[in-house]
Homo-oligomer: A and B are copies of this chain.
Amino acid sequence: MTSSLAESVRSAISQIVGPGAAALHTPHFGGNELAYLKECIDSTFVSSVGKFVDRFEAELAAYTGAKHAVAVVNGTAALQVALGLAGVRAGDEVLVPTMTFVATANAVAYCGATPHFTDSEERTLGMDPRALREHLQGAATIRGGQCVNRETGRVIRALVPMHTFGHIVDIDGLLSVARDFNLTLVEDAAESLGSTAGDRHAGTFGLLATLSFNGNKVVTTGGGGAILTNDQALAREAKHLTTTAKVPHRWEYTHDRIGYNYRLPNVNAALGCAQLEQLPSFLDAKRRLFERYRAAFAGMSGLRLVEEPAGTRSNYWLQTIVLDASVAAQRDEVLAATNDAGLMTRPAWTLMHKLQPYLGSPRMELSVAESLEQRVINLPSSAHLEMART
């Protein structure tokens, strides 16, 4: 029997998305996508050379306010390379949230380093700077200018907060922790293109940051990502490493580093350029969708709709409800009732420290994330749910 909570949530979503099914997040192609793809085909520039890659990078930099953007094949690749540029080496540890998509932890592992899992805060859903500071005060020590894990003896090199579902993490608090413990801050901004804190865009706070343009993101290139940085030398190195570290020459193929084949193909960048043109309208639509969800859930007991943290503006990538602890046991009922009705919802990711490959990784007390894991539910969030109405 479906509980009244599950039925209330199903009904609220139905009211928002109208009759019929709704996916969690599908893209909207209402602009120059096909025209730009045709330009690629007509010019035969579909691959590693082409004007859309340069344009996409310039437009990403202009939009976010980062001085440099380097487009790559996906967000995971972006994070792997950014971590390497941040100095992460085999044997290091890197602080990452346990509540994140698996790419955040995997990127650390690709560097031969070990993720060290951190807790979330209820308010932002992201890394909790106060709890992290307390943890490091006990678990770490500064030795030779480096933050060292007392128990494992490994250097804790970097800190990778993720802006969960588009909501900006407590970045000031985390920058302060990074400063005090000699950690390099790299932002996993995969979910937060279009989100800002004060007058600064997500991805401009750390030494480096990464974006994702997977099919489920605010804008998509099919598959794609980018590295953002204000540091010109790092940007040059990011471009060099992601294009097989080939040394420019008229005909010779010489490579001076173990680079990566991570350049974004021109055909995917073409999609990205068309999508970026529509980003402001997508963000408007997603904000209006949030407002309608807010009205639909107003006064419903047992849950809250996640709102942008004070002082920030969210892209509202994924609309999210958080159940009260008292009704957390009904989460799967809510998921079943909504998905059975064709309304796609999903819980937060299985926490990283519970995944088989990361069972042995170091971690702090993770009680807030463990509680959130039982209570978070993402709702249908596509911009076109709202755009279709206008």
Contacts and interface: CB of A to CB of B under 8 A. Distances in A.
Given A37-B37, A46-B27, A112-B112, A103 B256 contact: no
Contacts of A267: 222, 267-268, 271
Given A28-B44, A47-B220, A222-B267, 6 more contacts: A47-B215, A49-B215, A106-B244, A251-B339, A253-B349, A255-B357
Nearest to A382: B44
Nearest to A48: B215
A251 B46 contact: no
Interface in A262-304: 263-268, 271
Nearest to A357: B258
A80 B377 CA distance: 36
Interface in A27-73: 27-29, 33-34, 37-38, 41-42, 44-49, 73
A206 interface: no
A367 interface: no
Contacts of A44: 26-29
A335 B252 CA distance: 10
A356 B257 contact: yes
B254 A350 contact: yes
B222 A265 contact: yes
A362 B38 CA distance: 48
Interface of A: 26-29, 33-34, 37-38, 41-42, 44-49, 73-77, 101-103, 106, 109, 112, 214-216, 220-223, 244, 246, 250-261, 263-268, 271, 335, 339, 345-347, 349-350, 355-357
Contact of A355 (B38, B42, B255): B255
A47 B223 contact: yes
Q: Which 7 A-B pairs have the closest CB atoms?
A: A47-B215, A222-B265, A76-B261, A222-B267, A223-B265, A253-B349, A251-B346
Given A74-B261, A222-B267, A357-B258, A38 B34 contact: yes
A340 to B, nearest CB: 10
A101 B255 CA distance: 10
Count chain B CB atoms within 10 A of each CB in A216, A255, A357 and give the residue with the most: A255
Q: Interface of chain A, helix or strand or loop or mixed?
A: loop
A357 B257 contact: yes
A271 B46 contact: yes
A119 B265 CA distance: 33
B223 A73 contact: yes
A252 B215 contact: no
Given A27-B46, A37-B37, A271-B46, A253 B223 contact: no
A198 to B, nearest CB: 32
Given A44-B29, A222-B267, A253 B37 contact: no
A252 B339 CA distance: 12
A142 B333 CA distance: 59
A41 B46 contact: no
